[in-house]
Chains A and B, each alone.
Chain A
Amino acid sequence: MNTAVMNTAPDTGGNVMLLVLLLLPLLGALLMYPLRTNVPAAKAVAMATALLEFVLVVVTWVGYSTDAASSGERFQYVFSVPWIPAFGTHLAFGIDGIALVLIALTAFLVPGLMLFAWAEKLPEGRTASGYFALLLATQATLMGVFTATDVFLFYVFFEAMLIPMYFLIGRFGGPNRQYASVKFFLYSLLGGLIMLASLIGLYVTSADQLGAGTFTWSDLQSIAQSTPTSTQIWLFLGFFVAFAIKAPLVPFHTWLPDAGAEAPIVAAVLLVGVLDKVGTYGFLRYCLPLFPQASQILAPLVLVLAVIGIIYGALLAVGQKDMSRFVAYTSIAHFGFIALGTFAFSSQAFAGATLYMVNHGLSTGMLFVMVGLLVARGGSRLTRDYGGVSKLAPLLAGCLLLAGMSSLALPGTNSFVSEFLVLVGSFPREPVATIIATVGIIFAALYILWFYQQTMQGPVRGNAVIRALEAGGVGGPGAMIDPAVAAERGSGFPDLTRREIGVLAPLIVVIVVLGFFPGPVLDVVNPSVQSTITEVGLPDPVPAGGVVGGVR
């Protein structure tokens, strides 16, 4: 029986679509090198690559069959060739619904981010072609990490992902970028290496059970139920630490505020919006199906960390003085919700967690972009340097409000659906954790509204704003300007430009549309979520379908 299982991976290639999705951004990144002196051409090529990638992902989405997924086809667009036979590794790609929505999120964000970075002022001596090349390289590794169906290959991308992000932060980031980039790299590398220990353990276990070691995900999943629980716990912990650092869950989170704050805005969006999702995606794709018993035994531990994260992240967000750090801490609270949904073992909570990953990428991405727009005008990251901006730049203030509302999960925005699904799905199995987590929603309203009030409302004030309005003017803490005078001088603190509106418009549309019609995403996610539940081997406390349809 086991030998039959070994042959599930076809070794003769397959659908090359995912390979193209992986190689295209990589090719684009390499093209930046000959174009390094010709910046406009480099930008155009990078943008064209990102747009083409987006089109291809749309094609992939259209071609993804939910019927086939419902009827038990775990992966689609499957591609597999042997890579290192001595280690039993394959270059194996394939996507389920969860991976599909995440690559869609990535491909959707990157062109917008490039538009945002189009006219960004870079640190001295850095070129835009290098910047865009690193963005594309990050995208390529993200594509790889989400589409790999070989655990070894996944690990390779998991580590490779660090390198372009490290250079993005270290070369293009804020004043404290060296410290932040090294901290980010070392934290992630340590997590990755601990995971490597588990990965090797998994390989040795598979060699014991199947006769020959393998890294193919489906083969490993097939032996998951027969692996001894004690072994599972050790292996689970290795993967868990890596993903908990990446996600990040609370005791492992300290790198994120530094990295998020010092990274240039586009990198921060990719880092917090997508790259961190690799952690939560890893829980769903690797921790739960490969170590089902261990996941159930250790779930209380994870839930405690998740709930602590929700409350602690929110409280720290309230106290932040730096806007980028503020957004980073709100994300830590949100990751708590995702982890809660992931370890509640119900299809609703899984679907909610998956949707939350996408929505968080969108709303936090937009929040970061708004912070970036503010900083571009005022030149300061401190919250107290801004005040009354809505009187100078009403469109900007409105967009910030929308991003904030989406972040606090106001009904009608995308995040509401996912947060609701997580809480509803988690309650039957984990009532205590869910109730505590619900308190986090109140904190979310607190930190978002307070932030909005401080920066956007009231009289025009704050060092950055006033300095922008009159170069070398009054300034000083507590300085204010008469609104009428401020309106006259408004050109010093302009409202959104057309390019900036172009960056924000798609985000706004998707945030609102997903708030009212999450169906398309949920339809894609649900069959894969059902498969995951089956793989964990627990009964679904609330059968999905009816309730999911009833959310809207």
Chain B
Amino acid sequence: MIALAQVAPLTAPPIDYAAIAPLLVVLGGACVSVLFEAFLPRHQRWPAQVALSVLVVAVAGIALGVYAGTAPAAGIVTLATALSVDGPTLFLWGTLLVLGFGSLLLIADRSVEPGGAFLASAVERASVAAAPGTTSGPTGVDPEHVDRSYGAPGEAPTMQTEVFPFVLFALGGMMAFVAANDLLTMFVALEVLSLPLYLVCGLARRRRLLSQEAAVKYFLLGAFASAFFLYGLALLYGYAGSVKLVAIATAAVGTPKSDALLFGGLALLVVGLLFKGSVGPFHTWTPDVYQGAPTPITAFMAACTKVAAFGALLRVLHVAFGSTHWEWRGVMWVVAIASMAIGAVLGLTQTDLKRMIAYSSVAHAGFLLLGVMAITPEGVSSTLFYLLAYGFTTLAVFGVISLVRNADGEATHLSQWAGLAKRSPILAGVMTFLLLGLAGIPLTSGFTAKFAVFSAALGDGMAPLVVIALVFSAVAAFFYLRVIVLMYFSETPEDGPTVTVPGAFTTVAVTLGVVVTLLLGVVPTLVLGWAGAGGLTG
């Protein structure tokens, strides 16, 4: 009776709809996309889904732009303090939307892989190919290579258009993830972003076993990571009596309580986040999944998942654990060094291009940790800039990889890239530029980003770590260089792969990546300004 009497009447919390409009648009669009999948006839789905996805991302982008123009510099907290819409959130949302747009273009492309890169089951494809009357292209063309996924009604599409709602949901989850102001919201967002990704990993049209293996691995390891995260959340709740990031920070200041729960919780929480960001010793899923997943999805994961994971890590470490950073920084040093070492050294031994880029992403995650660990405004802004720069470069790299193909699909073995410069100088030139960007050569975005992150780290007293990071940058440069050597200085094998002429979508995505990589290397001022506008708000 007493308890009942004390319950205050529930009042709906005030919601700043303008601030969270981009998130609402993306999640709403994802729901509409599911409805499209359920109710549209098959042959209309591909054009409808592509149009819807592009529209959703564009509208979300406009909403974001409109709000960012009038947003309070200090940021706001809305939805009963569940979401924090501050400078970094806006920047990360923008990054996610632009990178998501690029990924959607790669996903939507059906000129490179006839019929699109996605398929739920191999059996269906075989039966469709064998069915009479399915060729709508010119006669004399191998029916397998005719694009049939839309056209006359009654034809079975060969592309799995469910990938669009999945990607939109994942994107929405990522946006909520980086804005989450309490750990419970963060966990829900983590699941929203992860579950669709597990599924789309297994949809590759070619090398299906590899793809399905990747999906299972990613799911199992991802489930473990989620469990770690949840366990950490529980411990932190036990310590602070709240799941809010700010409350944890307040509880950690000047308290006689034992720190065991606090740092135990932090460790488990961070393991979950580092797993998503494919950092250091928690990277084991990365090469397999990057290799097995359909390349457009790999691009999406490499670019956007990284952004989301590091955005959330930034918020957790800076808002909730900023005051205790002397306690955990030593451990994070070890993680960063391990990540750089694993990425750089194991990357050297790879013979598959997608696996190589996966290890490169592990090394980059180590570099990114330097920025995250710097508990200063420069630490935040440099990490944000790095995420944007890395995302665009890696997106374009996977776009290029998807173009080099032989009869079995993508030719990702390194030896197959030998002498590519002779047959396709433009593609080799683009790839060289992007690889130099990943290696961090000046006049590319990679250099500006590394410079920003390393100077932030040095400014916060991590000089030895910066030197270590630079040495590993040199080691990592070797395997980027190896690809360039292969493309330019080696002789072409007899049965070398062909370079597909990219369709409009892939061309736009790759061009976008290359242009941004160049611009952020030469005139990064504007974007650096955005990244530095406003700090994290709890």
Contact = CB atoms under 8 A, between A and B. Distances in A.
Contacts, number: 89
B489 A194 contact: no
Contacts of A155: 442
B489 A204 contact: no
A86 to B, nearest CB: 4
* Residue picked from A85, A204, A207, most chain B C-beta under 10 Å: A204
B470 A197 contact: yes
B443 interface: yes
> Which residue, B422, B447, B478, B485, has most C-beta atoms of chain A within 10 A?
B485
A351 B484 CA distance: 41
A539 to B, nearest CB: 34
A167 B488 contact: yes
Contacts of B74: none
Interface string B460-476: 00010011001101100
A189 B532 CA distance: 30
Given A84-B528, A177-B489, A203-B455, A163 B463 contact: no
B448 A84 contact: yes
Given A156-B442, A190-B471, A196-B470, A204 B455 contact: yes
B489 A178 contact: yes
B55 interface: no
Contact of A86 (B436, B473, B482, B532): B532
Contacts of B439: 189
Contact of B443 (A156, A170, A182): A156
A171 B489 contact: yes
Nearest to A187: B474
A186 B481 contact: yes
Interface size class for chain A?
20 to 34
B441 A84 contact: no
A165 to B, nearest CB: 13
Contacts of B313: none
A279 to B, nearest CB: 17
Interface string B498-534: 0000000000000000000000000111001100100
B137 interface: no
Given A196-B454, A204-B458, A185 B481 contact: yes
Interface in B119-163: none
Interface in A106-132: 125
A86 B473 CA distance: 23
A213 B458 CA distance: 13
Contact of A189 (B477, B482, B490, B524): B477
B451 interface: yes
A299 to B, nearest CB: 23
Nearest to B463: A201
A159 B474 contact: no
B527 to A, nearest CB: 10
Given A167-B488, A170-B485, A182-B485, A159 B470 contact: no
A193 B474 contact: yes
B459 interface: yes
Given A84-B525, A203-B455, A204-B458, A160 B442 contact: yes
A200 B451 contact: yes
Interface in A16-72: none
A156 B471 CA distance: 18
Most chain-B CB neighbours within 10 Å: which of A125, A196, A204?
A196
Given A87-B451, A156-B442, A160-B442, A189 B474 contact: yes
B441 A160 contact: yes
A181 interface: yes
Contacts of B442: 155-157, 159-160
Nearest to B468: A197
Among the interface residues B452, B455, B458, which one has the most CB atoms of the partner chain A within 10 A? B455
A234 B464 CA distance: 11
A197 B474 contact: no
A159 B441 contact: yes
Interface string A158-187: 011011000100110000011001100110
Contacts of B467: 194, 197
B459 A204 contact: yes
Contacts of B448: 84
Interface in A282-322: none
A196 B471 CA distance: 10
Contacts of B459: 204, 207
Contact of B451 (A85, A182, A189, A196): A196
B373 to A, nearest CB: 15
Nearest to A169: B489
Given A86-B528, A197-B466, A186 B458 contact: no
Contacts of A157: 442
Contacts of B422: 125
B214 to A, nearest CB: 32
Contacts of B485: 170, 178, 181-182
A155 B455 CA distance: 15
A220 to B, nearest CB: 15
Interface in A131-171: 155-157, 159-160, 162-163, 167, 170-171
B169 to A, nearest CB: 36
Nearest to A123: B489
Contacts of B441: 159-160, 162-163
A170 B483 CA distance: 13
Nearest to B455: A200
B471 A200 contact: no
Nearest to B525: A84
B530 to A, nearest CB: 11
B481 A182 contact: yes
Nearest to A185: B481
A204 B462 CA distance: 12
Given A170-B489, A171-B488, A84 B524 contact: yes
Interface string A84-100: 11110000000000000
Contacts of B529: 86
Contacts of A163: 436, 441
Nearest to B385: A86
A87 B378 CA distance: 11
A157 B439 CA distance: 16
Contacts of A160: 441-443
B463 to A, nearest CB: 7
Contacts of A177: 489
B222 to A, nearest CB: 34
A171 B490 CA distance: 9
B489 A200 contact: no
Nearest to A170: B489
Interface in A185-219: 185-186, 189-190, 193-194, 196-197, 200-201, 203-204, 207, 213
19 contacts: A86-B532, A87-B455, A155-B442, A157-B442, A159-B447, A162-B441, A163-B441, A178-B489, A181-B489, A186-B481, A189-B474, A190-B474, A193-B471, A196-B450, A196-B470, A197-B454, A200-B455, A200-B458, A204-B455
The 7 lowest CB-CB distance pairs between A and B, nearest first, are: A156-B442, A190-B474, A193-B470, A86-B528, A200-B455, A159-B442, A170-B489
Given A200-B458, A200-B466, 13 more contacts: A86-B529, A87-B455, A155-B442, A160-B443, A170-B489, A182-B481, A185-B477, A193-B471, A196-B451, A196-B470, A197-B454, A200-B454, A201-B463
